[in-house]
Every structure is written in C-alpha cells, then in structure tokens.
C-alpha cells in the first residue's frame, strides 16, 4: 500500500510540474530543488524525485550535482524534428480519413471551427486546448491506435511552444480559418486537398516556433501568473499542496 501511495503522489506531482511548464510558470533555465517542490506540495521527497526523473527522461528537465534541477532550454532543432514527425502522422491520418468508406462523427469539430468570427473563442489558453483537441480528434478518428499514440507523445513535447503561438490575435484568426478549410475538405473526402492544407498549416506553425524568444516566454509568464503570489528560488508558490498528500 505504501508503494502504491508513493506512485499515486508521484503521478500527481508529475502532472502538476508538467502543467507549470506548459503554462509558463516554469520557464527554460528556471532552477529548483527537490526540497522546494516537496515543501510546496506537502509531500515527501520520494514521490517528487520519481516525478522529476520521469520528466528528465521525457526531455523536460535536467539535474546537476549540487545545483538541483533545471528546466531545459528550448531545443529548436528537436522541435523541428518533432514537427516533421507531426506532419507525417497527421497527414497519414487525414488521408486515411478521406479515403475511408466509414462515416466519421466530426459534428463536435464543426460546432467549434465552422462558426462566424463573432462566435470564436478569444482566450489564448482555451484556443490552444481547442487546437490540440482538433488535431487529436482527427488522428484518433482515423482508427490507427499506434498513430494516435505517437501523435499524443509529440503533442506533449511541443505543447509549450504551441501555446505561445496563440498569444497573437492574428494566429488565432488564422487557425480558425485554416481549420475550417481543412475540415471542409475532409468532410468532402478530398484527400489531396486536405493533406496539402494540413501540411501548409503545420509548416506555418513550425515557422512561427522559430520566432520564439526568451522575452516572449517571460511575457507569457507575466500574463498567466499576474494574479498569483510571488515566486521564490525560481519556483512559483501559488499552486499549493497536492490533494490527498
């Protein structure tokens, strides 16, 4: 039972820290210690250490002797490779969708993306979630579980930089327009046109990633944490203890 409880707490810590990275509370270069995280969440260091090493294995953090943990700097070469993989996976899924004789339930996507400008979501954080859901739904609808698994892994790794994209109003508008065009082609089973639009859509996002600066990351943190309490030692202190700890 003790081991199970540690695993459950480690999972909660893992999810919370990953969310902080995605929400710009923890930025590339930020440092912290296991003790700070343990005190902050009111848990022991064992589940914290388990969570941190899991995040290290996934490429989010690094650990250094004596100096604790650090959020890894943005690796744009790696992001390029992840976006290339995303193109392959999503294009394969969309082509499969368009060529299938099965009927796919895409009504939920139509209700979100095929709307008038006045009905569009304007919150950057919410649009980022809707964008992820749009692409995830298309891949999952294709019915290939391995494609969906790989796509979910890529999505996790590029979440931070994708969310930055939606801090620009013009990128929100462009995403609505591009998603609407792509969705219409899929509904008409026009594979060639759909794949072409999807490839251009993802390529555009990839190009925007290259424009990200550390200043933009700091601006994003200010925007997302303006109402939270001050940070100490590189770690935001606003989220509080882990439930059930």
Q: Is 26 domain-assigned? A: yes
Q: Are residues 105 and 88 both part of a single domain? A: yes
pLDDT tens digits, one per residue of 36-64: 999 988 899 999 999 999 999 999 999 98
Q: Are residues 12 and 33 both part of a single domain? A: yes
Strand order in the sheet with 68-71: 31-32, 68-71, 61-64
In total, how many domains does the chain have?
2
Q: Is 241 domain-assigned? A: no
Say whether 23 sits in a helix, a strand or coil.
coil
C-beta separation of 93 from 147 below 8 A: yes
Q: Are residues 106 and 194 both part of a single domain? A: yes
C-beta separation of 94 from 198 below 8 A: yes
Instruction: Give the predicted TM-score (pTM) of the model.
Output: 0.79
pLDDT tens digits, one per residue of 113-136: 999 999 999 998 899 999 999 999
Q: Are residues 137 and 69 both part of a single domain? A: no
Q: Is 215 domain-assigned? A: no
pLDDT tens digits, one per residue of 146-200: 999 999 999 999 998 888 888 788 889 999 999 999 999 999 999 999 999 999 9
Q: Are residues 21 and 92 both part of a single domain? A: no
Q: Where in the sequence is the domain holding 227, given as residue range(s)?
A: 2-74+220-236
- CATH code for position 154: 1.20.120.530
Q: Are residues 96 and 61 both part of a single domain? A: no
Gap between the Cα atoms of 67 and 58, Å rounded: 20
Gap between the Cα atoms of 200 and 39, Å rounded: 46
- CATH code for position 31: 1.10.10.10
Mean pLDDT value of segment 9-33: 90
Q: Are residues 102 and 178 both part of a single domain? A: yes
Mean pLDDT value of segment 197-224: 80
Taking each helix axis from N to C end, the angle separating 76-99 and 169-187, rounded to the nearest 10 degrees, works out to: 30
Q: What are the residue ranges of helices labelled H in the chain? A: 2-22, 34-41, 45-57, 76-99, 107-113, 124-141, 145-165, 169-187, 191-209, 214-225
Q: Are residues 70 and 46 both part of a single domain? A: yes
How do the residues of the chain divide into helix, strand and coil, expressed in percent and rounded to 5? 65, 5, 25
Give, as one character, the DSSP assignment of residue 115.
S
């Amino acid at each position: 039972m003790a081991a199970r409880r540690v695993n459950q707490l480690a999972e909660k810590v893992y999810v919370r820290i990953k969310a902080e990275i995605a929400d710009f509370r923890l930025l590339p270069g930020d440092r912290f210690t296991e003790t700070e995280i343990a005190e902050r969440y009111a848990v022991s260091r064992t589940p914290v250490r388990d969570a941190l090493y899991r995040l290290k294995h996934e490429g989010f953090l690094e650990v250094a002797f004596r100096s604790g943990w650090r959020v890894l700097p943005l690796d744009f070469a790696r992001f390029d490779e992840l976006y290339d993989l995303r193109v392959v996976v999503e294009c394969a899924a969309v082509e499969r969708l368009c060529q299938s004789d099965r009927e796919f339930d895409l009504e939920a996507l139509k209700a979100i993306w095929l709307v008038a400008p006045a009905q569009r979501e304007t919150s950057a954080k919410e649009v980022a979630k809707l964008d992820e859901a749009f692409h995830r739904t298309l891949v999952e609808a294709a019915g290939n579980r391995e494609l969906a698994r790989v796509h979910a892994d890529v999505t996790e790794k590029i979440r931070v930089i994708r969310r930055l994209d939606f801090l620009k109003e013009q990128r929100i508008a462009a995403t609505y327009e591009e998603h609407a065009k792509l969705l219409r082609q899929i509904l008409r089973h026009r594979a060639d046109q759909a794949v072409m639009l999807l490839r251009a859509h993802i390529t555009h996002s990839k190009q925007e990633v290259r424009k990200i600066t550390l200043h933009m990351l700091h601006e994003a943190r200010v925007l997302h944490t303006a109402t939270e309490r001050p940070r100490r030692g590189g770690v935001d202190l606003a989220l509080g203890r882990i439930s059930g700890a």
